[in-house]
Chains A and B, each alone.
Chain A
Amino acid sequence: MSLHEVFRDCATRRSAALIGYLPAGFPTVPDSVELFRAMVRGDGDTPGCDVVEIGIPYSDPVMDGPTIQAASGEALRNGFRVRQLFDIVSAVAETGAAPVVMTYWNPVHRYGPDAFARDLAAAGGLGVITPDLVPDEADEWLAAARQHRLDRIFLVAPSSTERRVAMTAGAGSGFLYAASVMGVTGARDSVSGSARELVRRTRAHTELPVGVGLGVRTAGHAAEVAEFADGVIVGSAFIDRAGQDGAAGVAEFAAELGRGVGKSSTPAP
């Protein structure tokens, strides 16, 4: 299934897509596969994530707050290597969820953008989210991703001008990642009002689905965001939950969030 189809099916079921992030290899490679599976499984009543964001742990994660920094650092200390990413992607693809990779640009640059796109597509990956690669610098990546039929998921931010939102929407595919606040990743107590406004501005330029991330922590937040966005992205809160309650906790939390975004017998309002 393509990302396009995932979002279409969620829309048909009148739910937003639930997009969950964890770093690959956190805390170890086998453990992370368990966590990703749990994130998709949910509980007996409600399934979990539709899209799984597999993060490549990176030495210098400038867009990440303390939670993801710590988890990525742990994965690296436990020996995570980029080549192990592809098996993790395959394992996620087998669950039936849509795997995408979230990565800073340098690891891809180093691997070789074309080789990276080729190996990711072969493993069943559908696209890549690039938090520090803007379309202005992405010619090589766009060519590689097109060649290997991967979606190019770029970010828009509250500070993006109309011109940049339009340009970014034009270069992207799959979905657009709307950063809800000006800031780094990390669970927050409330979802900023700027998210709704950014989604509205983005929709004026594109038919692409818009996912909202940064700071979503509870099923309540997820429900709030699902009212105005096509996808709800949760990262740091999954890491916290994994740290507290392991895979069982992640599965349970995914189901709670799933109900939040509208995955139950009662359609979302």
Chain B
Amino acid sequence: MSVKFKNVGHIYSPDSPFEYVALHDVNLELPLHKMVAIVGNTGSGKSTLVQHLNALLKPTSGEVHINDRIIVADEKPRNLKSLRKVVGLVFQFPEYQLFEETILRDIAFGPKNFGISEEEAEARARMAIKQVGLDESYLMRSPFDLSGGQKRRVAIAGILAMDPEIIVLDEPTAGLDPQGAKQMMQLFADLKNKHNKTIYIVTHDMEHVLNYCDEVVVMKDGRMIHQSNVEDFFAEGELLNDLHIAPPAIIKVKQMLKERGFKLSKANDFDTLVKDIVKEVRK
């Protein structure tokens, strides 16, 4: 069981004046039961990449393996619904997919499409709305009366209620307030830790990458140019420079201390850092 990209290329509108090569020969293996960050500049192909994970986009060359499913270029895949039940994809700005009369029905829409009974779907909706940090009183309201951030939460709840094994999120926290974004990230971390889910998340926020993710995949101009664990990623000074990524403050501080001869432990939190500094200074 794994998620693999083999020589995957994707061309938008092939053979037309709008032809655009969005992915070039991507080879990639994504671990399960981990939280993997997909980073890269705008237009680098992150959204294109993740839409291959539930076959919304099919590779125009190469193949994508998802558990025991293989999606091959030029072959019409069958029964994609079963794949989409396993891989839940939350789009960039998912608030635009709300349509039902009540939030309850909107969240229950996904599970019902996958053959879950009405009652079970509603029970899941009740759970999902709490998971995303809204209370049950929202369930009977119209999704269109909510603020942007609340809509986002409801849309994410709609995917969580489908209970997919692999949850793919395309910039789920873009435009949320910092506190809300943190809560969201904590939710995803809990889903991984407590419910053994796999989380793939597209993000521009390096603090989130550092604090919540296990691995990093870097996209640039449609190519996968780097894959490693989070620590190694932030140690790649040149790569970060090249991507115009400013590393999180703690990483910078640690680097500066190391340059001045401090011995620091690996953990990247301020508690450990302060302890290390105190220990070093006392010496």
Partners in one complex: no
Give B contacts to A, CB under 8 Å: none
